[in-house]
Amino acid sequence: MDTLLFYTPGTCALACMIALETLGDPYSVCLVTKEERRGDRFKQVNPRGQVPAIRLGSPPDSRVLAEVNAILEHLADRKPEAELLPRHGTWERDVANQWLSSLGTGLHPAFWPFYNPQRYTTDEAAHEGVKAAAVIAIRRELRIVDDHLEKNEYVLGKSLSALDGYLFSMARWGADMLDTPSELPHVFRHQKMMTAHPIVRRCTAVERGREPPTPSTALVARLELATLP
């Protein structure tokens, strides 16, 4: 199945790229700028104008899946033996789903008011207060993760999973807001560990438009939105 990932650098679409690279199946990527996400062309892909989104199959019979949680679950179930997530019907999968929900509805939206305070107040003078409140929420959510990582090498214990890429892609946003090494030492350790991982290094290079330090056998093309069928 043809798989095309739509991404914007610096977003949690990186988690999906890491998952795709871990699977090792052929995939392509399409960088979508913030300006392009507001345009009609990308809204034909995702009417909400958000990334990540993946297109499965070739037009005119292709399908599009959006939302990082849904994409990560789809990829995990595409090839269960890759162990991106535990298998359905197990307690371990229930715990993984709990973390997917926690990261997606707790940590992820905690950042939204910081980057888009205008969504939460019509008073421009209140923007700094909204952002300050967001930092408090971000710190609270990351402390929950930090406490968990004190006793666990990865989000699911001793095994790398799709959740680690998801956490990594978001926790990096807090670097300029928090003193991560002192406030969140276990999150900081996790970030360093992920940064050094060969797959993460490849994906962050692709995300930034660079050549990866080691070639990918899974990434087959970098496409442009304007030229897509």
Tell me, yes or no, whether 184 and 125 share the same domain.
yes
Segments forming the whole domain that contains residue 104: 91-197
Beginning with the edge strand found earlier in the chain, give each strand of the sheet holding 53-56 in spatial order.
Answer: 63-66, 53-56, 3-7, 27-31, 219-224
First to last CA, the chain: 16
CB atoms within 10 A of CB 195: 12
Q: Output the six-digit token pair for 125.
A: 């003078």
Print pLDDT tens along the chain (229 aa): 699 999 999 999 999 999 999 999 999 999 999 999 999 999 999 999 999 999 999 888 899 999 999 999 999 999 999 999 999 999 999 999 999 999 999 999 999 999 999 999 999 999 999 999 999 999 999 999 999 999 999 999 999 999 999 999 999 999 989 999 999 999 999 999 999 999 999 999 999 988 888 888 899 999 999 999 8
Tell me, yes or no, whether 127 and 76 share the same domain.
no
Domain count, the chain: 2
CB atoms within 10 A of CB 37: 21
Of 201, 164, 193, 162, nearest in space to 83 by CA: 162
Tell me, yes or no, whether 114 and 191 share the same domain.
yes
CATH of the domain at 66: 3.40.30.10
Q: What is the pTM of this model?
A: 0.95
Tell me, yes or no, whether 213 and 116 share the same domain.
no
Tell me, yes or no, whether 175 and 130 share the same domain.
yes
Place of tokens 């799709």: 162
Return the pLDDT at 177: 93
Tell me, yes or no, whether 47 and 113 share the same domain.
no
Tell me, yes or no, whether 223 and 212 share the same domain.
yes
Q: Give the 3-state DSSP-derived string for 2-56, with helices as H, strands as E and coil as C.
A: CEEEEECCCCCHHHHHHHHHHHCCCEEEEECCHHHHCCHHHHCCCCCCCCCEEEE
d(CA 118, CA 159): 40
Tell me, yes or no, whether 220 and 184 share the same domain.
no
Burial 157-180 (b: 16+ CB within 10 A, else e): eeebbbbbbbbbbbbbbbeeebeb
Q: Is the peptide bond before 52 cis (omega within 30 degrees of 0)?
A: yes
Return the pLDDT at 48: 95
CATH of the domain at 110: 1.20.1050.10
Tell me, yes or no, whether 60 and 119 share the same domain.
no
Return the pLDDT at 216: 84
Helix axes 127-149, 108-115, angle to 10 degrees: 160
Tell me, yes or no, whether 207 and 177 share the same domain.
no
Tell me, yes or no, whether 107 and 127 share the same domain.
yes
Return the pLDDT at 60: 83
Tell me, yes or no, whether 106 and 185 share the same domain.
yes
Cβ–Cβ under 8 Å, residues 109 and 119: no
* CA 49 vs CA 14, 140, 209, 226: distances in Å: 17, 29, 21, 15
